[in-house]
Amino acid sequence: MEYMKKSSYNFSVQYLIFQAVMACSGHGIFAFKAGRKRPGQTAVEYLLMLALIAGMTMLFLMLFHRRLLGGFFTLVGMIIGASTSQTTS
pLDDT digit string, tens, across residues 65-89: 999 999 999 999 999 888 776 666 5
Q: What is the mean pLDDT of the chain?
A: 76
44 belongs to a structural domain:
yes
71 belongs to a structural domain:
yes
63 belongs to a structural domain:
yes
9 belongs to a structural domain:
no
Task: For residue 72, give its domain range.
Answer: 38-82
Taking the CA atoms of the chain, what radius of gyration do you get in angstroms? 26
Number of domains into which the chain is organized: 1
22 belongs to a structural domain:
no
* 47-61 confidence digits (pLDDT tens): 999 999 999 999 999
| C-alpha dist (Å) from residue 9 to 12, 13, 30 | 9, 12, 15
Between 17-21, 32-36, 41-45, the lowest mean confidence (pLDDT) is in 32-36
Considering the entire predicted model, what is its pTM? 0.43
- Whether residue 28 contacts residue 19, with contact meaning beta carbons closer than 8 Å, is answered with yes
88 belongs to a structural domain:
no
59 belongs to a structural domain:
yes
